[in-house]
Amino acid sequence: MKSVSISGSTRANVGKRDSKDLRANGQVPCVLYGGKDQIHFSAPELAFKQLVYTPDAYTVNLTIDGKDYKAIMQDIQFHTITDKIQHIDFLLLNEDKPVLIDIPVKLIGTSIGARQGGKLLTNIRRLKVRALPKDLPDSVDINIENLNIGQAIRVKDLSIPGVQFLDAGSMVIVTVRMTRNVVATDEAGAKPAAGAKAAAKK
């Protein structure tokens, strides 16, 4: 999985007033947990641009007071009015422990159904997975070239070595719907596409 690097400094105080002062100075209060002790730190708001404002998923190389940690972002809070980042939780990665993370869906190719005039609908753009850090993919790549009108690809149709999908297996990720420009066939509902596969980038 791709990574982004962020440098921060430990926080002497962790109260609400301290957090407010940090935000007023362009810093984001953060916490790193998963190790022996939680580490409270802050980093410039601009440092999180690539991590937060993107459809991609990243691991994070954190440098806090000169010490390096590898982590993933677990939770983020935004201001209800300004939408500015208020707080971020990070989880320390352990190569021997699986982690839960949302991975973006990437569709590969143009479906047969869309070429015939059907409407391609993407219902899920991110999937929740569990995997060891070494097995985390950049994205869940789904080949839709054989997807015809009335067919769908569901979570249960996917398979990536070392990755467990946590969303409901019956959940439809992508489907091709009939449109007024297409002559109706005997396909009344969405059916799984034959040979639907997911391939992961590492």
Cα angle for residues 125, 157, 52 (degrees, 5° grid)? 20
Query: What residue ranges in the chain does DSSP mark as E strands?
Result: 3-10, 27-33, 39-44, 59-64, 67-78, 85-92, 99-108, 119-122, 126-131, 140-143, 151-154, 163-165, 172-177, 191-192, 198-200
pLDDT band at 188 (very low <50, low <70, confident <90, very high): very low
Please say whether the beta carbons of 91 and 133 come within 8 A. no
* Mean pLDDT within 55-68: 94
Instruction: Specify the higher pLDDT residue, 179 or 82.
Output: 82
* For residue 21, pLDDT beyond 70: yes
Please say whether the beta carbons of 151 and 136 come within 8 A. no
Please say whether the beta carbons of 45 and 26 come within 8 A. yes
Instruction: Specify the higher pLDDT residue, 90 or 14.
Output: 90
Q: Which long-range contacts (CB under 8 A, 24 or more apart) does 50-54 make?
A: 50/4, 51/4, 51/6, 52/76, 52/85
* For residue 193, pLDDT beyond 50: yes
What single-letter DSSP state applies at residue 47? Answer: G
Average pLDDT, the chain: 89
* Mean pLDDT within 160-180: 94
pLDDT for res 36 = 85
Residues 6+ apart with CB under 8 A from 53: none
* Mean pLDDT within 28-41: 93
